[in-house]
Amino acid sequence: MGRRALRKNPANIDLTHHYTTVEKLPVPWNPAALFDRDQPLEIEVGSGKGLFIAGAAAQRPDHNFLGIEVVDKYASHAAARIVRRGLTNAVMVHGDALKVFREMIPAASLAAVHVYFPDPWWKARHRKRRVLNAAFLIDVRRTLPPGARLHFWTDVEEYYLSTLELLQEFPELRGPLPVDERPAEHDLDYLTHFERRTRRNGEPVYRSEFERS
């Protein structure tokens, strides 16, 4: 399912405190340069239009949320969504999330990692481009302290099953733990836009969580 064209952000919207790039992230890593308050940090890999990060930041003001999106127009769109909701605990980053994890995020420093509806890269020769690969999971295991969780949802059964098989090589990530599907109370009461589209089409969503032991 392709993505619909995005509307341009209003010219008067100020993204200064809610949008940045990988190249401008603080080195060495310092979340205080990104957020007003020192709170547990959750990272979403592939934020798309920003429905999850905006909703999660609003629901959990005692946590900070960093969204990383490789497509710039979606990163800025998600940042604008955060600004419009007046959220100070969420920031969008344009760039390669795997690079951020590999080179910047310290060990045992995250409260959660979220990966929702990642690009399945359908062709066999492109599977190596998938976000959920062994190298990334090594970084997930490293950056999650005991009790923190990896959240993974997809609408592609093959991707889901192959990822569960790969995760068997990481026994420190205990799971898959069950995630119940709840009815939506309104049009935007979904985790992401992809979940909304998938469920409206009557197709299954494969959900799982893994807890760092």
Q: Please return the burial class of 169, using the count of CB atoms within 10 Å of its CB with bins 0-12, 13-18 and 19+.
A: exposed
| Alpha-carbon gap, residue 25 to 108, rounded angstroms | 19
Cis bond upstream, residue 204 (ω within 30): no
Residue type, 90: A
Other Cβ atoms closer than 10 A to 46: 21
Rounded CA-CA distance 131/31 in Å is 23
User: CA dist 66 to 31, 128, 182, 193, Å?
Assistant: 10, 25, 25, 18
Specify the DSSP class assigned to residue 70.
S
Among residues 72, 119, 180, 189, the one annotated as catalytic is: 119
User: Measuring CA to CA, which residue among 35, 34, 26, 90 is closest to residue 58?
Assistant: 90
Amino acid type, 37: R
Judge whether 119 counts as a catalytic residue. Answer: yes
Catalytic residues: 119
